[in-house]
Structure 1
Amino acid sequence: MIDIERLIDALSDLMAGRGYTISADGTEPMMPRQALAPDCLLPVLVRLAEEKWRTDAGAVSFGLAIDPDDRAFCGHTLRAVHHAPVAILVLCVDQVLRTVADEEGVVTLDALQAHAAAP
C-alpha cells in the first residue's frame, strides 16, 4: 500500500512541473494540494488513471479503496491504493491530464467529467 501523502506530493510536483491547473468553474484555479486531497479530486484522478492503465497496458487494478462520502467534493474519498507504485500512478495521471487540459494547461471539472463519460 502506498502512502497517500506521498502520492499527493508527487502529483503536486507533476502539476507544477507540467503547468497544470485545476479549475472547478473555469476561472479561479484550485490550489494543487486542495484539488489533490483524498476527499476532493484525488479519487477521480486515480480512478481515471487506473482506467488508462487498464486500457493501454492491459494491466490489472490498482487496488483502489474509494468510499462514498457525502461530505467529499465529488462524493467519494480515496482511502488507499494497494497495488500500484507511485511512479505508475503519476505517469497515468499525467496522461489523463494531458488529454483533458486546454492549451494553457487548465483542467476543468467539465473536461474531467466528459473524459470519464467517454466510451
Structure 2
Amino acid sequence: MDIFTLECSLDIESEAVQYLLTLIVYPAFATVLQLGFYLYSKFRRRISPDNQLNVHGVVLMLAYLPILLISLKPWQCNTNPDGTFSVRSMRNVECWGEVSSQHTTMIICSFFSFF
C-alpha cells in the first residue's frame, strides 16, 4: 500500500513539502476537471458554465471537511516530555521553536489555504 502514498513514490523527506503537496491536491483536481470539461466541449457538446460550477460546487462540498482538517494540522501542537511543542500528526516538526522553518512554512500555507 505504500506505493500509493505520495511521499513514498516521490521520496520526499521534508514534512513541509509533504503538507504543501497535500494542500495542492484539490486545486490540481479542479484544474484537471476543468480541462476535462474543455476537452469534452471541444469534441462533444458544450457544457454550460452553470453546470460546470454545479459540479465544482458538489465536489467542493464533499471535500470541504477534509480540506479544512488538513488546513488545521499545523495549528494542532502537543507538548513533548522535554517541554517543547511539536505538531500532533508530525512529531518531528517543532512548533513555534527557534528552528521551526518547516512549521513556519506549514503555517503560512495553512493560512493561504483558508482563502
Give the number of the structure whose alpha-carbon radius of gyration is greater: 2
TM-score (norm 1): 0.30
- Higher RCO, Cα 8 Å, sep 6+: 1
TM-score (norm 2): 0.31
